[in-house]
């Protein structure tokens, strides 16, 4: 089983991202679940969402405490939240940032495998909005291959309808621009 924890802010689409990953996994014949965790709902407040994916039925329903994968939609969150907490030794942090790897490691104390993409710029240029959820899905797919791009594009079509083309373009561009190190 693979477990993913997504960190974002209310309104950035972390919960939607989790649902899209789970949907794409189910479409590929896997078992998956997605669920959020947040306090009083308000735009801009930190939000955490979780995904579990497996080839066999998933029996647990608790939060993900020891993720294999951490996705960070907001580049400021690692300064506020220990995003790598509980990360498996061979886990990966997928980060929205325009910083260099050495800066990220020094600033946020990350020593895990790392995938980085400037999702803010991509989202603004492709979507016209600083909403990084579908952009970060491209980084997730490149860094982990947890689901195929075709399954994710199908999930985006169903979720966003006529708006899916821009979201798929943002996802594809992030896939191309993501760097994976460590």
Per-residue pLDDT of the chain (182 residues; tens, 9 = 90+): 999 999 998 888 899 999 999 999 999 999 999 998 866 556 777 889 999 999 999 999 899 999 999 999 998 888 888 899 999 999 999 999 999 999 999 988 888 999 999 999 999 999 999 899 999 999 999 999 999 999 999 999 999 999 899 999 999 999 999 999 98
Query: 60-95 burial by CB neighbour count: b if 16+ within 10 A, else e?
Result: eeeebeebbbbbbbbbebbeeeebbeebeeebbbbb
How many domains does the chain fold into?
1
Name the residue with tokens 């061979």.
90
Q: Is 0.85 surpassed by the pTM of this model?
A: yes
Q: Which two tokens stand for residue 25?
A: 């996994």
What CATH code is carried by the domain that includes residue 143? 3.40.920.10
* Domain limits for position 57: 2-181
């Amino acid at each position: 089983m693979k477990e993913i924890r997504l960190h974002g802010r209310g309104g950035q689409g972390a919960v939607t991202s989790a649902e899209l990953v789970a949907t794409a996994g189910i479409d590929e014949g896997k078992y998956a679940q997605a669920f959020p965790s947040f306090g009083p709902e308000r735009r801009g407040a930190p939000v955490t969402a979780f995904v579990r994916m497996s080839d066999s039925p998933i029996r647990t329903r608790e939060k993900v405490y020891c993720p294999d994968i951490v996705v960070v939609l907001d580049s400021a969150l690692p300064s506020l939240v220990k995003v790598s907490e509980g990360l498996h030794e061979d886990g990966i942090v997928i980060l929205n940032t325009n910083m260099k790897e050495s800066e990220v490691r020094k600033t946020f104390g990350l020593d895990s495998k790392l995938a980085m993409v400037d999702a803010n710029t991509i989202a603004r240029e492709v979507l016209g909005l600083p909403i990084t959820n579908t952009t970060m899905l491209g980084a997730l797919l490149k860094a982990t291959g947890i689901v195929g791009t075709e399954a994710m594009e199908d999930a985006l079509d169903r979720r966003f309808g006529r708006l899916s083309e821009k979201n798929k373009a943002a996802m594809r561009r992030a896939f191309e621009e993501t760097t994976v190190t460590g």
